[in-house]
Amino acid sequence: MEGLGLNGFWQYRNVLVTGCTGFLGGWVVQELLARGAKPVGLVRDWVPRSRTLTEDLLSRVVVVRGTLEDQSLLERALNEYEIDTVLHLAAQAVVSTANRNPVSTFESNIRGTWTLLEACRRVGTVKGIVVASSDKAYGAQARLPYAEDSPLMGRFPYDVSKSCADLLAQSYAATYGLPVAVTRCGNFFGGGDLNFSRIVPGTILSVLRNEPPVIRSDGTPTRDYLYVRDGALAYLLLAEAIRQRAIAGEAFNFSYELPLTAGEMVDRILALMGRTDLKPVIRDEATNEIPHQYLSSRRAREVLEWQPAFGLDQGLKDTIAWYRQYAEVWGAR
């Protein structure tokens, strides 16, 4: 697939990456650098254990220090660095954090999105924008899998923030002709995820510590998953497609279309790590979570000719290998 190859599209291209020190952001920056792009990263907090820092990616990025809510800062960065493409990944991405403090989540995820879109509109030189929404934007629905024409029905704080950001992107495309498209992805997993309350890194860390993994739910919620490297490549593919097809304002689902319960995902990891003797601890303490969520990626396959480069099992094997390599950093040994 040409969009995933080193086809010259990104060579010397100035790209603003919000959330460049985040979990997904580090892998996106790595792919951009491999393609000869010139990333400019917006950095709010300094996170020493971020992959972008520990694997020395940030030294190759122009760093703009500040927040998404600072419109004058964003306009300055877009102007001074002659930004051609924006990949908007920055967000408060933890459901439990959103439940504890919804306002900070709404500020970063909703206000931050409209501030960035407005800055792009006012500057007027950005030719492609990808906004990260989520499968959570769909909320709880009876019809599954979600398709892109499913209504956005977020109810809990994190889900609402993603529904709003998604609609804002669509609004700026429809009203102002802004060249923006939206991604709605399954649950990302991969090396460098610092949120160990998530099922994949939490399970791997438990095994490395020779401890039984913990499942915060009752083990039955169903989710889609996407290896973070497949996710990063999907973002780049969509950013390229904005120039080639009339898809401004449109959204695309990306997942492996292989829904798994939390228990099934833990069992899969334990099998790959050769530790089926460790039995998960079911805590059943998760709140404000949607019981079943999974996506149809048919539209991405047909319109964008997308197909994953890695897949679920290869992604899990790579993820396990990454955490084994950096076990001492995470206190596993």
Other CB atoms within a 10 A radius of the CB of residue 211 amount to: 12
Helices 228-244 and 23-34 pack at an angle, to 10 degrees, of: 60
Angle at 171 (CA atoms; ends 160, 241), nearest 5 degrees: 100
Angle at 188 (CA atoms; ends 10, 329), nearest 5 degrees: 95
Catalytic residue among 138, 158, 227, 294: 158
Of the ranges 37-41, 94-98, 192-196, which one carries the lowest mean pLDDT score? 94-98
Q: Which residue in 180, 142, 138, 190 sits closest to 162, CA to CA? A: 138
Percent of the chain residues past pLDDT 70, beyond the cut = 96
Judged against a pLDDT cut of 50, whether residue 43 lies above it is answered with yes
CB distance 308 to 224 below 8 Å: no
CB distance 35 to 9 below 8 Å: yes
For residue 305, give both structure tokens.
Answer: 């000719």
Give exposure, 6-29, as e/b (b: 16+ Cβ within 10 Å).
eeebbeebbbbbbbbbbbbbbbbb
Rg of the chain over Cα atoms, rounded to whole angstroms, equals 19
Q: Write down the H helix ranges in 55-183.
A: 71-80, 95-100, 102-106, 112-123, 157-176
With 0.75 as the threshold, say if the pTM is over it.
Answer: yes
Judged against a pLDDT cut of 80, whether residue 3 lies above it is answered with no
Average pLDDT, the chain: 93
Instruction: Let me know if 158 is a catalytic residue.
Output: yes
pLDDT recorded at residue 332:
56
- Residue 1: pLDDT band by 50, 70, 90 thresholds? very low
Which pLDDT tens digit goes with each residue over 271-303? 999 999 999 999 888 777 788 999 999 999 999
